[in-house]
Structures are given as C-alpha cells and as structure tokens.
Structure 1
Amino acid sequence: MNVGQLQGEARFRRQAIKVDDAIRLIIEAAKPGRMESVPLREAGGRRLAESIAATTDWPPFARAGLDGFAVRSADTALASPGSPAVLRVIDTVAAGELASAAVAPGTAVRIMTGGAVPWGADAVVMLEQTADARLDGQPAVQVKRTAEPGQNIAPQGEEFRCGSVLAEPGVRLRPGHAALLGTFGYAHVPVYARPRIAVLATGAELLPVEAPLEPGRIRDSNSAMVAALIEQYGGVPVLCGRVPDEPAAAARAISDALAQSDLLVTTGGVSVGDYDVIASLLQRIDGVPAAAPVEAAPQPRGEIELSTSAALPADSRLLFNKAAMRPGSPTSAAVVSGKLLIALSGNPGACFVGFELFARPALLRLQGASPAEAMPKQVTAKLACTFDKGSPHERFVRTRLYTEAGVLFADPLAFGKSSMMASIPEAEGLIRIKAGAEGPSEGTVVDVIVL
C-alpha cells in the first residue's frame, strides 16, 4: 500500500493553527497524572499531589528567641542601668529541656535560644542587658532594662496552627518546603510521578547511533536528543526504537508505545512526502481541531481506505496537524487511547524547537504544573543584529542571550535552518520573529522564549 495514496491530495490541504493556540490545546489535553509517595529527601523539585497540613502548632510551645533570662515582666517594671532589678536564678534551660519549676515573683530562669519558656515567665531579657549577682548567697541576675510582655518570645502557634495548609497540590517543592515538611513529620511526601514518555522515530533512512554510516542513510540522533530533553524536564524517557515507513507497522508501534507510557513523542514522518507515515495515520482521524482557523475544511478521508491494522483507534482525536511556524510547521498532535501523541519533525532543528514549544508544556502539566505554569516562559530582549529573513509564518530562531549595561540582548545563532543541528547546543532561547516579508532590524525589541 502506497503511503502517498493514503494521504492523497489532503496532505497539501492541512490547515495551520497558531502556535499559542496549539500549545493551549496540548495543555488542555495533558492532565496531571499518576501519584506516588517518595521519601522526603527525594521530593525536591517534584510537584505536590495532595494538600499538606501542619500536624501541630508551630512553634509547639512558647520559645525563647535568644540567650538570656526568662522573667516576669512585672518584676522589671522599674529596672534601669542605675537601679537594676535583682532576681534569684532558680534554673537553667537549654534547647530541648524543660524548667524544673515555674517562674515565681522575684525569680528568673537562665534560658538558651530555642528553649521552652517556663510557666510564669512572659518575657526573655537578652544576656547583654543583665549582669551576674548574688542574693542571700544564691545565684541571681541583675536586669538593667524594663522588659515588655512577650519580649523575645515566639508564642505557640505563631507561624502555623495545627491543621493549617502548608502547601497545595501542584506546588513545586523547594528546599524550604523540605524544611517545613520535615518539621511536621512528613517522612514521605505525595507527589506526581515522573511521567513516562515514549520516544519513537520513523524513517527507513535511520540507523542506530552505533552503526557505521551507509550511502543515503543517517544515524538516529533525534531519539537521544528528545530523551535528554525529557530527562531535563523531569520525565522518564522510554526509547521505542525506529519504525519503518509502513502504516500498519507504525500503527502497531504507536499502540505498543502508548501502552507503556503516559505520552508519546514521535520524530519524523509528519511532512507531505509520499512516505511520511505519521502524517498518513493522523490524516485519517475524523474531526477538525477546536481552534482551527476560519474556513478550515474537515479532514478528508483520502483515496484508499486504511485497514484496521493500519489505522489509529477509532476514538482518536486530532488536535492539529500543522502549526503556523518555521521551522517545524508539520508538527502535529492527537489524543490516542486517551493519551497525547506529539508528532515532531524529523529535522533536528525543527524537532528541538517543536519539543520546547509543545512537548515541554505537556511534560510540566503531567507533573502537576498549572496551565499557566506550563506555558513557555517569555521575556523581551533587544535584537543584537538584523535578522533579514522574512517568513509567511511566525519564525522561532535559536539564540544566545547576554546582558550588557543591564539590558538583555538576543543574538541569533548561525546554522539555524530546520535541518541544521550545529547551533542546538548553544541555544539559550527562541526569538519569536513575527510573520512578514522582512525580518526585524538590529535593536528591535523582540519576544524570546527562554529555554
């Protein structure tokens, strides 16, 4: 069966969707997924799957804020450097200990930072405002300043009350959260599981990375790049190898990949060539993208009916099969068996850009990020040099970023064509060049997606 026949003229009639609309469709289709409980020491960087609440008041007792003496403020009402109050010292309390007796009128307790303030005391006088003394042969302290009620004491429940929420689902756990959770006894933390992302490459021209080159063939470098990007953004890559340009084999490979993953990323096979098998399969899905442009026609059925083994499941839903962008306009997405399939270009540069724009937001959403957090982050920068190449669609240009005199500059990288990979390792951002006959000139303020 000829793949070109499967697509027919429909391959040339794909309707482009705006990039931001395409990203939103993907984020809407990607729902926070599996949950798991991990040891507290492994929770950093993960997103919380359930609300976490304080298990006790914090502090759990009135706590001294510094080294000094716990006193009754009333006993120091007339204290001054020239006429200090003299109080008998009845005990010493270190952090983790309790006083043996309450503070009665005319007495004080030596206390260390973090120590539990004994009953009867309502203030702590810092050590620098006291002097050692004797009273009737017993240890005593001279207090040289009047103490105010509550002075240098952290009252019970000052920061948190028992049952108050510490963090909500979706919060990315930072080191400060680890301190909070440890304080309240959370040895294990409920988080969203790292999503398993299947990676499937198409193309009869692809060789394994370790294979020697053959005439007309290239090594599969995209799978390794996509796997590295998946790990960088918190996912677990599942490498599914390569599939030939044959619909039935591709449909089976997609089904198998989705069965063992939360999301599938394919590379290659999405353009308009006679052997672009992923495009052929997606073209057969009924329905039109929800955000398709005005006058978009329904997806045609093509010239030859696909057999059951050479088609995606009947309940599959196409999100889009073309994006108004350069590079990577054939990038496509669908929901298959209830899971996202993101089909990226086989050209390395376009594959890289497509992953950052579409797959990364899906990964973040699966890990519990809110829709707003999952959207690519943008900044503005000044263009360091003229980019004179126009485009009928918005262009995403790999760039390095630098700051000069407090101003952020974007310097477009060379070798930026969709098939080129030399600039990928240096890319720190993607400049968004608006569609038009001419590109922007040096000094123009442009939007940049930060990688």
Structure 2
Amino acid sequence: MSDSATQLEPLDRWRRRVLAAVPALEPIELSLLDARGGVAAGELTATRPVPAHAVATADGFAVRAGDAVEASTLGVVGQAQPGRPTRARVHTGQAVRLAAGAVLPEGADAVLAPAQADDRGDYLVVSGGGARLGDHVRPAGEEVAEGAQLVEAGVRLRPGHLGLLAAAGHTRVPVHPHPRVSVLAVGDELVDLEARVGPGDVADVNGVALNAMARAAGAHAIRHPPVRGDATSVGDAVEGTVGNGDLLVVAGADGAVLGGALAALGDLERVRVAMEPGAEQAFGLGEADSGRWVPVFGVPGHPVAAAVSFEVFVRPAIRRLQGRRDLNRPRVLARLAAPLGGRCDRVAFAPVSLHRDGAGHVATPTETPHAHAVAPLAAADGLAEIPAGVARLEAGDRVLTHRLVAPD
C-alpha cells in the first residue's frame, strides 16, 4: 500500500491516473433485441444498402423511361406489391403494375403515375407527358450505402441505432457488457435495511445511494450488507466481494484498514485530493479469479462526500468499463441564487437544484446548516464546481454546474 496522503494531489491529475488504470471490458456479441444500452465495441458498417433494392414511391407502372413517351402503348406483363415482388422483367414496350413500396422489377428505371396512363387492363397508353428516368423511384442505397459507417465505436446503442442496424443487415453486434459493480459500506454504526434502527444506529445510506448511482450509470450493481470497520471485518468483506464484479466501491472504511484488506489481493494508494468534499480518496487494483484485476475505490463515509466522489471518479470509471467515450456529465453555466463558499487550495463541489428563467439556468444550493448529510442529495439535480482559489461566489455569479439528471 502506498500513501501520499500528506500532500494534496491535484484533482485532474488523480482522475487521469485512476481512469488510465481502468480498461474497457472485453466485448461480447448480443442479439439486436438484447443490445439496447450496450456500447458498440467497434465501428459498425452497413452489410447491405438501405433500401436494399430500388422501390416505387408511388402507385403506378414500372417502365423503361425511354419507352414511356406520349401516346406510346405498353403491354402490362405483371404486378408487384410490397413484400411480393414480380419475377417479370420489363423489356422494351412493357410495363408492370405496382403499388408504392414494391420492389422495382428488373429492366425498369421509372414509375409512370396512374394519371399519366390510360389503363386498358393488359396494356396501357401513355399520356400526360410520359415518364422521366428515376420518376417515383427510391434507388437502392439512397439512405445508406453498403459499407457506410452506421455507429462509431464507443457509442451507446439507442433504439434508433438498432433499427438502422437491422435495416442494414445486422442481427448481432459486439458490445462492451454492462459492468458488475459491488457496493460495500463500512461503519460500526451501520445497520442493514431490514434491521431495526436503534439508538446510535444509522441506516445504510451509502449502500443504497451508491448502488442506485451505479445502476443509473449503466452498471449491474450489487449492494452488500454493511460491515463493521475493524480490520478483520473489512478484510473478510473485501476478499469476499472483490471477485463478484468488475469494480468495487467501499464507502467509509479507514484508508489504512482498506489498504491492509487489499494487501493480499493487490495494492491500494491513498491520497488527499485537492477537492471538497471528498478529499480522502483511495484506489487500487485487486486480483480476482483467473488473474483478473478489479478496480477498487475507497470513498469517504459522509453521504455528500461519498456521492461527490462517486460522480467525480467512480461514474467515469464505470463508463470506461463500458467502452464509453463520453465520460462526463453534461454541464451548464448557471447563475447562483444564493452565495456559495469555495476553497483557496482545492476545487469545491456543492449540490444544487437547477431551473431555468428568462435569462438561463439558475442554481440554488441545497445544503443548509440544518441539511448537510442526506437531504441535500435528494433535492439536488446538479453539482456546482467552484475552482480552486475562489473563496466565495455571490448570488448572481456564474458557476459551472454538472447536470445530475437529464432534463425532461
């Protein structure tokens, strides 16, 4: 275990170091029906054009444009409907009756509209100026050419992507799987969800909140029962959970105790990051089954500090495991509705509630002297970031704010 907790580590540098140690999970192949929300593990291209064949965009007659001139007579040699193409080929002096959406028969290069044809059943007489090359025809590949890029690597697959992939010939796609994230809260005072909360007991707030945050980030999260803070309890819990997932978050453990627990499985570095809340951070890699290395995050036990630490370090790491390129939350520049204090030597974060008025986004701090542990998180849909060196922002000042909830 290495310990650099005697000096402040710059926030950006620590974040880069942590994320550099977290690789994307190995891809798996999924059916399109199961791939929603998965992240493309490579570039996906069209294996066939869209549309796959030239189709009629209007009811009428498939013809050779050079034959369909005023007053010419064309023999009707077949008919076609969407999903029921004709086997007939259009030769000189011929036409095929068809409906919009039908595949254009071989030999045809235009569709003659009904208003331009005097339909006599087994033949027609062209009127209304005839047909021009390509009239009422959607050519093969008009929307997507064969070989064209459909989805870049690292893009999260939405329903629209999956529909396009199906149209372009895919049935299965390689994706990075949803990471399995284990959440473990540590503290002598913590009790499990179903247990009676007695004097001096505290419900497992971090276990519940961090589990929910991991799921919101796209992970399959597993919340383990809270454990006491002694070395034996933490050691047994870490050894029992590190192999159950692709990432482990431990909230509230003493850094030295957590480092000792991980010593037999890997290594842990403890640092004091230049941020508030959540300066006390730990990160390492624990060896699980078959030589697999699992990122382990140690975050503070205070609920706001734990949530901020998760947002700044753990959530981007989960997205790295997913193969995502967009690691950060959307950010807006908002006006403060009330003052916020900062720190001269570190970046400060504060939960805020966002709304819009006629002049743009407004951020209202949710922490008060009487609500500083749990309630501020429930009221917040944003996280204000105050740069190091700024001791105080006044009402009306602009602050960079991370959106925790996507706008409706």
- Cross-structure match for 2:246: 262
Q: Decide which of 263, 272, 293 is 1:322's aligned counterpart.
A: 272
Aligned residue for 1:289?
none
Question: Take 2:221 and 2:104, find their aligned partners in 1: how far apart are those partners?
Answer: 54
Q: 1:334 aligns with which of 284, 305, 308?
A: 284
1:312 aligns with 2:299: no
Structure 1 vs Structure 2 CA RMSD: 2.9
Q: Which amino acid aligns with 1:313?
A: A
Q: Which has the higher strand share?
A: 2
Quick one: structure 1 residues 406 and 189, their matched pair in 2 at CA, closer, same or farther if it must change by over 3 Å? farther
The reply to whether residue 346 of structure 1 matches residue 284 of structure 2 is: no
Give 1:365 deviation, angstroms.
Answer: 1.0
- Aligned match of 2:9 in 4, 17, 21? 17
- 1:120 equivalenced with 2:104 (yes/no): no
Task: Report percent identity of matched pairs.
Answer: 32
SS at match of 1:336: strand
Match of 2:51 in 1: 59
Correspondences of 1:170-209 after superposition (within 5 Å): 170-209=154-193
Counterpart selection for 2:320 from 360, 365, 370: 365
1:110-152 deviation digits (Å, cap 9, x = unpaired): 222221211221112344x425443xx8442544245332233
Tell me, yes or no, if the aligned pair for 1:387 and 1:441 is still in contact at 8 Å: yes
Does the C-alpha gap of structure 1 residues 204 and 375 become closer, same or farther in structure 2, counting only changes over 3 Å?
same
Label 1:132 to 1:414 Cα distance change in 2 as closer, same or farther (>3 A): farther
Which position in structure 2 is the counterpart of 1:109? 96
1:341 deviates by 1.0
Q: How far 1:249 moved relative to its partner?
A: 3.4
Matched, 1:244 2:228: yes
Runs of 4+ in 1 over 6 A off after TM superposition: none
Cα deviations by residue, 1:65-91 (Å, 9 ceiling, x for unpaired)? 3323222211345x4xxxx65544333
Letter in 2 for 1:123: A
Q: Distance in 2 between matches of 1:417 and 1:254?
A: 35
| Cα shift readout 1:226-285 (whole Å, capped 9, x = no counterpart) | 11111111111222322322224323322221111111101102xxxxxx2x34444xxx
Alpha-carbon deviation of 1:315? Answer: 4.6
Q: Judging changes above 3 Å, is the alpha-carbon distance between structure 1 residues 51 and 393 closer, same or farther for their aligned structure 2 residues?
A: closer
1:321 Cα deviation (Å)? 1.8
The answer to whether the 8 A contact 1:27-1:374 is kept is: no
Does the CA-based 8 Å contact 2:334-2:399 persist in structure 1? yes
Task: Go from structure 1 to structure 2 and tell me whether the alpha carbon gap of 1:63 and 1:202 turns closer, same or farther (over 3 Å shift).
Answer: same
Partner of 2:116 in structure 1? 130
Q: Is the 8 A contact 1:86 1:143 kept in 2?
A: no
Q: What is the Cα deviation at residue 45 of structure 1?
A: 1.4
1:89 and 1:141 in contact (8 A); partners too: no
Question: Matched residues in 2 for 1:126 and 1:383: separation?
Answer: 63
Residue 223 of structure 1: CA displacement? Answer: 0.3
How many Å apart are 1:55 and its aligned residue?
A: 3.3
Q: Secondary structure at the match of 1:61?
A: coil
User: Counterparts of 1:132-147 in structure 2 under 5 Å?
Assistant: 132-134=118-120, 138-147=122-131
SS where residue 368 of structure 2 aligns?
Answer: coil
> Would the alpha carbon gap of residues 167 and 437 (structure 1) be closer, same or farther in structure 2, given more than 3 Å must change?
closer
Q: Specify the code of the residue in structure 2 equivalent to 1:113.
A: A
Give the count of matched residue pairs.
399
Q: Tell me the secondary structure at the aligned position of residue 248 of structure 2.
A: strand
The SS at the match of 1:224 is: helix
Q: Does 1:30 align with 2:31?
A: no
Compare 179-188 and 199-208 and name the one that shifted more: 179-188
Structure 1 SS opposite 2:7 = coil
On the 8 A contact 2:207/2:224 being kept in 1, the answer is no
**By how many angstroms is 1:14 displaced?**
2.6
SS at match of 1:200: strand
Q: Which runs of 5+ in 2 are unaligned?
A: 288-292
Tell me the equivalent position of 2:202: 218
Q: What SS does the aligned partner of 1:98 have?
A: coil
2:63 to 65, 71, 80: 71
Is 1:415–2:368 an aligned residue pair? Answer: yes
In the alignment, the residues of structure 2 paired with residue 311 and residue 155 of structure 1 have an alpha-carbon distance, to the nearest angstrom, of 62
Task: Encode CA deviations 1:16-52: one digit per residue, 9 max, x unaligned.
Answer: 2232323222221111114333332221111123444
Tell me the equivalent position of 2:80. 93
Gaps of 5+ in 1: 1-5, 270-275, 283-305
Q: How many Å separate the matches in 1 of 2:286 and 2:371?
A: 27
Native 8 Å contact 2:332 2:361 kept in 1? no
1:397 — aligned with what? 350
Amino acid paired to 1:443:
G
